[in-house]
Amino acid sequence: MIVWINGAFGAGKTSTARELIDLIPNSTLYDPELIGGQLRHLLPQKRLAEVSDYQDLPIWRRLVVDTAAALLSELGGVLVVPMTLLRQEYRDEIFGGLASRRIPVRHVLLRPDETILRERIATREEPDIPDADQRVRQWAYDHIEPYLAALDWIGGDAHVIDTSRLDPLQTARRIATAVRSGDAAVCEIVQTPEPTAETLAAGVLLFDEEDRVLLVDPTYKPGWEFPGGVVERGEPPARGGMREVTEELGIELAQVPRLLVVDWEAPRPPGFGGLRLLYDGGRLDSGEAGRVLLPGSELRGWRFVAEEEAAELLPPTRYERLRWALRARERGSALYLEAGVPV
């Protein structure tokens, strides 16, 4: 299990985590910031210069998950993780990766009043980093606004503790009590284990009366997606897509959808690639769209979007797949793609 302590820079996450490991039996402190520090020695300076924060590096997010899994395999028990996550897509990616390894996460947010947070930042010292106090303080100040903007989603996702009048030990006791009582519940993100070989996945495109396509927003990975998923062993792909539409949206398709695109996805570690199929599920009238029912543990939202908006929401590879599927729908014939390019 992981107890993930989130909050603004300067909220006292690390101090609280150090107290917490003495209160939760068989627990270990795991600070992902150490991974960011090591990447400065592992990656070329040219790559590091492309980002302003190591959290923007996909390798950091992957290593956070892999290291957590390795530590739990080695030590067992509980990992206490003090780490600020202000971008929801990064939280999705990391927590989704942990969920795929069957690692439950209890997400806790330390939330002092803004005035008190600023006072704590002003008096913060970095004894282990010579001459870094002012630089670290400015970094914390610069991230207050992103933190406040992120409270809408973090507050709905995490167990919130007002630490305005609490010191780290008192805060740690609150967290330990919330973990024992279940008030700090396990995050509901659910994801099937990561594949160990190539997979076959089927997505279904559903349209509204204006021919906009329906996209869904998964909780367990970054970027929007089409309704659909991995086809089960022995299951016809089109039927697999229909099953996923019912499971994800609560909509039962009356007819087997028409194939639009077959796309071969190249293996890209840690993924294995495989075939990705997109089908035309037809139009939903306003009544059918009004009956969409999302599983909260997997999807947080859905919407109909035009192709231009889809380009902003979908990762590039998924958008290329969609773009060619729309062309195939217009022409009335299926297309075969390799890595998103028609062959």
pLDDT of residue 19: 97
Asked whether residue 181 carries a pLDDT value surpassing 80, the answer given is yes
Say if CB 251 and CB 245 are below 8 A apart: yes
Count the helix, strand and coil residues of the chain and give each as a percent rounded to the nearest 5.
40, 20, 35
Chain position carrying tokens 């009048």: 165
pLDDT digits (tens, 9 = 90+) for 49-71: 999 889 999 999 999 999 999 99
Which contiguous run of DSSP H or E holds residue 301? strand 299-305
pLDDT of residue 126: 58
pLDDT digits (tens, 9 = 90+) for 281-308: 999 988 888 888 876 667 888 999 999 9
pLDDT of residue 293: 84
Say if CB 106 and CB 187 are below 8 A apart: yes
Nearest 5°: CA angle at 85, between 308 and 52?
70
Q: For residue 224, report the phi and psi dihedrals to the nearest 5 degrees.
A: -80, 170
pLDDT of residue 292: 86
Taking residues 157-162, report their average pLDDT.
92
CA distance 216 to 42: 36
pLDDT of residue 10: 79
Which contiguous run of DSSP H or E holds residue 280? strand 274-283
Asked whether residue 110 carries a pLDDT value surpassing 90, the answer given is yes
**Confidence class for position 76, pLDDT limits 50, 70, 90:** very high
Asked whether residue 128 carries a pLDDT value surpassing 60, the answer given is no
pLDDT of residue 191: 66
**Confidence class for position 235, pLDDT limits 50, 70, 90:** very high
pLDDT digits (tens, 9 = 90+) for 242-278: 999 998 998 999 999 999 999 999 887 767 889 999 9
CA distance 98 to 316: 24
Taking residues 25-37, report their average pLDDT.
95
CA distance 184 to 170: 16
Chain position carrying tokens 């282990």: 128
In the chain, pLDDT over 90 holds for what percent of residues? Answer: 59
Largest CA distance in the chain: 68
CA distance 18 to 14: 6
pLDDT of residue 190: 66
Query: Higher model confidence: residue 213 or residue 137?
Result: 213
Asked whether residue 313 carries a pLDDT value surpassing 80, the answer given is yes
pLDDT of residue 127: 56
